[in-house]
């Protein structure tokens, strides 16, 4: 099993058992339970061989991350329309030159087909790597106590968010631009969805001498500004109004950032005023997701969106609101959405919706793991026993289901 595959299992092992532990101890993170982390750490120290093997693999992965180059938003060769390379910039992935036009403008949409031009600007890839690497390093620090991992995580955070010469401005005005049509769209906020897990991982660094209270306050200030941009700018409000996975992950980010800023009141308001309405507007009463089923990659987007709703339910647990069992007045629910997809994931039904690329039923497996830990056996049909194995190579990278 390679290191990345290990981490899939390792992090899901943490998640699976979160809800089995008492909730009396405040959690240092949004997705992880403090008592669980402490229990696993103590088990490693007492010689639990399975967990020690898991820790060894985690540290190998973290060692690989230590050797990777740090990147910043100012490295791109192109300059955003603002003239400031500190502004994040990306191009819509499914937009291509129009072959009927001499200059290809305006671009045309080919849903599900990624234009390689997107990768000419690497802000999106650098940001994705940053979130992944900070998560790995923070977990490695927590379970090993090795300040080397915390120091590198802190360095990566300062480069991307805090250092004046390299920091990203707290806006997404130029995300997912379309040549010939727009310089930036609300849809660009899907690029930053992994920031929700980054702010969660940062909490594991609080005991490190490498991450000071001043660093933490400065990072909170960055996210306070970014959340303000999300909630009040025209582009941010445009994404808030989306009725598919974009709206779902808008809520994921807004709620995660509010919790990072210790604003449970705002988190609750978003859940009650926006997330619950998304369950109403995005799901049918049978549990299907019509907005995602209309896509050319209907399976992948259905899984992605349901993962988003599961993440929202995790976030809501901290408020606390029980989204796992929430039903609209006409009986739409996250649980029904899970049960609707389950037969397809298990191979008991054939997927008949548009899917221009290979369908990967294993993408659904982490959701089975989470569901089996959240719902009682009487609420679900029997699930494959192997989904509970922490070393399953098909699980998602992080405990937060990203």
Query: Which tens digit of pLDDT belongs to each residue from 184-221?
Result: 999 999 999 999 989 989 999 999 999 999 999 999 99
Residue whose token pair is 């929700």? 196
For 271-321, how does the pLDDT look when each residue is reduced to its tens digit (9 = 90+)? 999 999 999 999 999 999 999 999 999 999 999 999 999 999 989 999 999
User: What predicted TM-score, i.e. pTM, was given to this entire model?
Assistant: 0.90
Do the beta carbons of residue 50 and residue 40 sit within 8 Å?
no
As a whole number of angstroms, the distance between CA 282 and CA 243 comes to 6
Quick one: average pLDDT of 351-380? 92
Max alpha carbon distance in the chain (Å)?
Answer: 69
Distance CA 386, CA 69 (A): 37
The values of phi and psi at residue 76, to 5°, are -60, 150
Q: Which two tokens stand for residue 234?
A: 């025209």
Question: Which CATH architecture is the domain 68-241 placed in?
Answer: Alpha/alpha barrel (1.50)
**pLDDT for residue 30:** 61
Residue whose tokens read 């679900």 = 380
In 105-153, which ranges are E strands? 108-109
Phi, psi of 107 (to 5 degrees): -65, 155
How high does pLDDT run on average in the chain? Answer: 88
Residue 388: the pLDDT is 47
In tens, the pLDDT along 25-77 reads 333 456 655 666 777 788 888 988 877 887 888 899 899 999 999 999 999 99
Burial class (CB within 10 angstroms; exposed 0-12, middle 13-18, buried 19+) of 66? middle
Per-domain residue ranges for the chain? 68-241
pLDDT value of residue 27: 39
H helices within 158-233, ranges in order? Answer: 195-202, 213-232
CA dihedral 56, 60, 62, 68 (to 10 degrees): 180
Is residue 313 a contact partner of residue 271, using CB atoms and an 8 Å limit?
no
Does residue 89 or residue 41 have the better pLDDT? 89
Q: What is the H or E stretch that residue 175 is in?
A: strand 174-177
Helix pair angle (123-144, 147-157), 10° resolution: 150
Mean pLDDT within 78-102: 96
pLDDT in tens, 213-271: 999 999 999 999 999 999 999 999 999 999 999 999 999 999 999 999 999 999 999 99
In the chain, the percentage of residues whose pLDDT exceeds 70 is 86
Residue 14 has pLDDT above 70, yes or no: no
């Amino acid at each position: 099993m390679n290191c990345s595959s290990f981490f899939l299992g390792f992090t899901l092992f943490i998640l699976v058992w979160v809800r089995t532990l008492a909730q009396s101890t405040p959690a240092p993170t949004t997705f992880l339970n403090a008592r669980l982390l402490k229990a696993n750490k103590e088990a490693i120290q007492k010689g639990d061989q399975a967990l020690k093997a898991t820790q060894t693999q985690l540290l190998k992965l973290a060692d690989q991350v230590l050797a990777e180059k740090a990147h910043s938003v100012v490295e791109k060769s192109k300059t955003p329309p603002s003239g400031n390379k500190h502004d994040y910039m990306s191009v819509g992935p499914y937009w291509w030159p129009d072959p009927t036009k001499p200059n290809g403008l305006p671009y045309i949409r080919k849903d599900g087909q990624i234009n390689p031009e997107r990768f000419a600007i690497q802000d999106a890839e650098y940001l994705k790597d940053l979130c992944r690497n900070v998560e790995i390093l923070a977990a490695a620090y927590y379970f090993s106590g090795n300040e080397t991992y915390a120091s590198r995580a802190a360095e990566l955070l300062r480069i991307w968010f805090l250092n004046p010469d390299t920091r990203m401005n707290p806006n997404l005005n130029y995300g997912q631009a379309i040549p010939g049509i727009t310089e930036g769209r609300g849809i660009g906020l899907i690029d930053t969805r992994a920031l929700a897990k980054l702010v969660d991982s940062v909490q594991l660094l609080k005991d490190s001498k490498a991450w000071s209270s001043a660093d933490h306050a400065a990072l909170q200030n960055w996210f306070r500004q970014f959340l303000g941009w999300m909630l009040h700018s025209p582009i941010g409000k445009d994404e808030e109004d989306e009725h598919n996975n974009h709206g779902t992950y808008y809520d994921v980010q807004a709620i995660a950032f509010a919790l990072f800023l210790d604003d449970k009141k705002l988190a609750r308001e978003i859940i009650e005023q926006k997330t619950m309405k998304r369950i109403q507007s995005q799901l049918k009463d049978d549990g299907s997701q019509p907005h995602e089923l209309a896509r050319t990659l209907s399976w992948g987007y259905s899984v992605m969106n349901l993962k988003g709703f599961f993440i929202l339910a995790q976030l809501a647990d901290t408020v606390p609101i029980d989204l796992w069992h929430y039903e609209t007045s006409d009986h739409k629910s996250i649980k029904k959405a899970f049960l609707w997809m389950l037969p397809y994931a298990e191979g008991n039904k054939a997927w008949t919706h548009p899917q221009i690329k290979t369908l990967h039923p294993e993408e659904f497996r982490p959701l089975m793991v989470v569901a089996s830990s959240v719902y009682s056996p009487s609420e679900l049909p029997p699930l494959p026993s192997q989904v509970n194995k922490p070393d399953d190579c098909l699980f998602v990278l992080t405990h937060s289901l990203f």
